[in-house]
Amino acid sequence: MTNPLYVAIDTPHLDDAVELTKRIKHHVGGVKLGLEFFCANGHHGVHEVQKLGLPIFLDLKLHDIPNTVAKAMQAINVLEPAIVTIHAAGGRAMMEDAKAAAGAHTKVVAVTVLTSLDDHDLSRVGVPDSPDAQVARLAALAQEAGLDGIVCSGHEVKAVKKGWKDGFFVVPGLRPEGGQSGDQKRTVTPRQARDFGASVLVVGRPITKAENPDEAARAIVGTL
């Protein structure tokens, strides 16, 4: 992958997504379309963005019983996404079935601990461990299940990579040096994440909310 930067286009408005993608397409490696976009626009919306020629990361975070997740994966195979997310918390059988149902050229990666969560948040949902420990546990399970990789924060990717050298690591919640963290609690800079072993860097608001998104994307790539 020559350019690891994927831009998170988190909007339900198709015209906005297409216009933004047109502006940044020469400076990024792909675009991430999440739940907001997919729920509003479905397959048609994904096809419209695909026309612009960038790889598509479908960030759907599938999490259900194995059979349901497998059928959902089959339903999106026609879109030929480059990357699809599922939740590692769904368990090994769910992850195995999701990978088996995915297209041959789609990387299936498991979300471990959302970057909006910290120790206190995990404790409140019954997880007594730190984010580092929980990520390590779920990463090992995802590896056993035969997935391509995981989604984790830049704080954990270096340690996980030591035990999964050929893993594919997606790191979201990134903020440029001096940027506002917003609702993200475990952030690093894009350069730090890349140095720690990230395969894909996901950046949203620092680019999409910038006065000049194309310049913001180009500036981030310039730090890598």
Q: Show which residues are catalytic.
A: 61
CB 162 within 8 A of CB 124: no
Q: How far is residue 113's CA from residue 186's CA, in Å, rounded to a whole number?
A: 10
**How far from chain centre, in Å, is Cα 122?**
20
173: its two tokens = 């919640």
100: its two tokens = 């088996």
Which of 180, 185, 223 is closest to 201 using CA atoms? 223
Cross-strand bridge partners of residue 168: 149
Q: How far is residue 130's CA from residue 62's CA, in Å, rounded to a whole number?
A: 24
Give CA separation, 94 vs 4, 111, 121, 162, in Å: 28, 13, 24, 25
Please tell me whether residue 11 adopts helix, strand or coil conformation: coil
